[in-house]
Amino acid sequence: MVIDRSSEPGSGSTGRATGGFRAQFGSAINIRLSLMAREKLLHFEEETGVDPGFEQTGYLFLTSSPAQLDRLRLVNDLQRHHGVGEARIIDAREAAALNPAIDEGSYIGAAWSPSDGFLRPLEILRGYSEAAVRMGVRFESGTEAMAFEKQRGHLVALRTNRGEIAAHTFVNAAGAWAARVGEMAGVDVPVVPVRRQVAATVPTTALPSDMPMTIFADDGFHLRVRDGRVLLLWPDSARVEDPFETEVDDLWLKEVRRKSDARVSLLRDVPFDREASWAGLYEMSPDRHALLGTTSDASNLILVNGSSGHGVMHAPALGQLASDLILGRPPQLDIDPLRPSRFAEGKPVQLIELL
Ligand SMILES: Cc1cc2nc3c(=O)[nH]c(=O)nc-3n(C[C@H](O)[C@H](O)[C@H](O)COP(=O)(O)OP(=O)(O)OC[C@H]3O[C@@H](n4cnc5c(N)ncnc54)[C@H](O)[C@@H]3O)c2cc1C
């Protein structure tokens, strides 16, 4: 049984994701999760009957700094070591050929992987939920988790606004709200919300629809084309009074405009559409990696939390691994690095940050 307090599935962060997929990560475990997810995405339609919209148009990480290029090289070595042989470091000329829409002179080199790309978050949600319903899963919308009944470190029932649910195993999949659900079970889930905003242009053909995801690694500014608009993102660190706030900020839009004008001349005359722009929440963990597994505070509460902004692309892998845990099957990859206790042990996942 899946419960969600909202009226419609996907109204948390999943419906607000822009739909990027990459295996170009800076830690072994994230690379492995991506490769496992990629395999499942390639067979998603066979498995669920729904096209996940997986398009391998590539991810291009540009940089204008020699030090950052060295970092990209270091991360690239890690990726190649863990099986992403197609990812490589390229010079500015090759980067210009891969994305001629970006002003030359705004970068000196890049990391590139042609097997990264895009997916459709709500189609993935639809594929999995329709397949689950066929297999007997019940979905209850408008049902809010409120408190757990616990006996000797074991959860026996969940109280909701629509009655009590008894179960053998519970899963916390509450995205940016995971800490609150954890608290109900007496489990510390170190996941905090972080607002992420997306600027959308008016409908335009200024940039080609098959343009790769293009990221300026120096400040995280990135852009892609989706459904006839250009989407532009930049992870600002402005403090928001209410951490669950999801309004788009005008000052942020102005800064994104400035960054875009300085690097993408082709977009200078294309206005942003404020109404079509949006914001949502990342579910950040302290080391920016997912938590997967149980804790000694509640032995039958499985945490699948804290993907830190990669939760759609990693969902096919994390869902499979969580089901392995529930069924007592050996997981298909070593998930020890994601054990929730790592923070208390002082052993967070080590990563070379890319974004
Ligand atoms: C602007 C933006 C762009 C992004 N781009 C990407 C991207 O390109 N690629 C990528 O992989 N990821 C991206 N992400 C991150 C991605 O959206 C998340 O990692 C992912 O959606 C998390 O999925 P989830 O199912 O854990 O959480 P959610 O989709 O948020 O689902 C959690 C659900 O829990 C429900 N809930 C909460 N509390 C309770 C309660 N007490 N009782 C019952 N139900 C409850 C909520 O209603 C919600 O529906 C992006 C996020 C944002 C905001």
Q: Using CA positions, which residue lies closest to atom 46 of ligand 1?
A: 12
What's the pLDDT band for 353 if we cut at 50, 70, 90? confident
> Which residues, in sequence order, are bridge partners of residue 280?
196
Range of the domain at 238: 59-114+193-281
Express each pLDDT in 195-226 by its tens digit.
999 999 999 999 999 999 999 999 999 999 99
Question: Is the domain of 133 the same as that of 270?
Answer: no
Picking from 14, 13, 23, the residue whose alpha carbon sits closest to that of residue 354 is: 23
Residue 21 is predicted with a pLDDT of 98
Residue the block writes with tokens 């905003």: 197
Mutation to probe ligand 1, out of 8, 13, 57, 310 (largest number of atoms < 8 A from CB): 13
pLDDT mean over 40-57:
98
Q: Is 52 in the pocket of ligand 1 (CB under 6 A)?
A: no
d(CA 148, CA 131): 28
pLDDT at position 354 over 80: no
Mutation to probe ligand 1, out of 8, 14, 24 (largest number of atoms < 8 A from CB): 14
Express each pLDDT in 281-295 by its tens digit.
999 999 999 999 999
Question: Is the domain of 258 the same as that of 268?
Answer: yes
pLDDT mean over 157-174:
98
Question: Is the domain of 91 the same as that of 213?
Answer: yes
Q: What is the Å distance from ligand 1's center to 13 Cα?
A: 3
Residue the block writes with tokens 């170190």: 190
To the question of pTM greater than 0.85 for the whole model, the response is yes
- From 261, 281, 301, give the residue that closes a domain: 281
Question: Is the domain of 326 the same as that of 339?
Answer: yes
Residue 329 is predicted with a pLDDT of 96
d(CA 322, CA 320): 5
Question: Is the domain of 303 the same as that of 219?
Answer: no
d(CA 115, CA 247): 33
pLDDT mean over 134-144:
97
Q: Using CA positions, which residue lies closest to atom 22 of ligand 1?
A: 311
Question: Is the domain of 329 the same as that of 308?
Answer: yes
d(CA 160, CA 117): 39
Express each pLDDT in 239-280 by its tens digit.
788 999 999 999 999 999 999 999 999 999 999 999 999 999
Domain count, the chain: 2
Tally the residues of the chain.
Answer: 355
Question: Is the domain of 181 the same as that of 213?
Answer: no
Question: Is the domain of 330 the same as that of 350?
Answer: yes
Q: Is 159 in the pocket of ligand 1 (CB under 6 A)?
A: no
Question: Is the domain of 107 the same as that of 240?
Answer: yes
Q: Is 183 in the pocket of ligand 1 (CB under 6 A)?
A: no
Question: Is the domain of 104 the same as that of 206?
Answer: yes
CATH number of 198's domain: 3.30.9.10
Q: What is the Å distance from ligand 1's center to 316 Cα?
A: 14
Alpha helices in 135-286 (DSSP H): 178-184, 250-263
Residue 238 is predicted with a pLDDT of 80
Q: Is 6 in the pocket of ligand 1 (CB under 6 A)?
A: yes
> Which residues, in sequence order, are bridge partners of residue 223?
214, 232
Question: Is the domain of 233 the same as that of 108?
Answer: yes
Q: What is the Å distance from ligand 1's center to 30 Cα?
A: 18
**DSSP 3-state of 281:** strand
- From 230, 256, 281, give the residue that closes a domain: 281
**DSSP 3-state of 148:** strand
CATH number of 6's domain: 3.50.50.60
Q: Is 127 in the pocket of ligand 1 (CB under 6 A)?
A: no
pLDDT at position 134 over 80: yes
Residue 237 is predicted with a pLDDT of 78
Q: Is 280 in the pocket of ligand 1 (CB under 6 A)?
A: yes
What's the pLDDT band for 181 if we cut at 50, 70, 90? very high
- From 248, 281, 314, give the residue that closes a domain: 281
pLDDT at position 355 over 90: no
Mutation to probe ligand 1, out of 312, 318, 355 (largest number of atoms < 8 A from CB): 312
Question: Is the domain of 123 the same as that of 42?
Answer: yes
Mean pLDDT for the chain? Answer: 97
Q: What is the Å distance from ligand 1's center to 323 Cα?
A: 19
Q: Is 125 in the pocket of ligand 1 (CB under 6 A)?
A: no
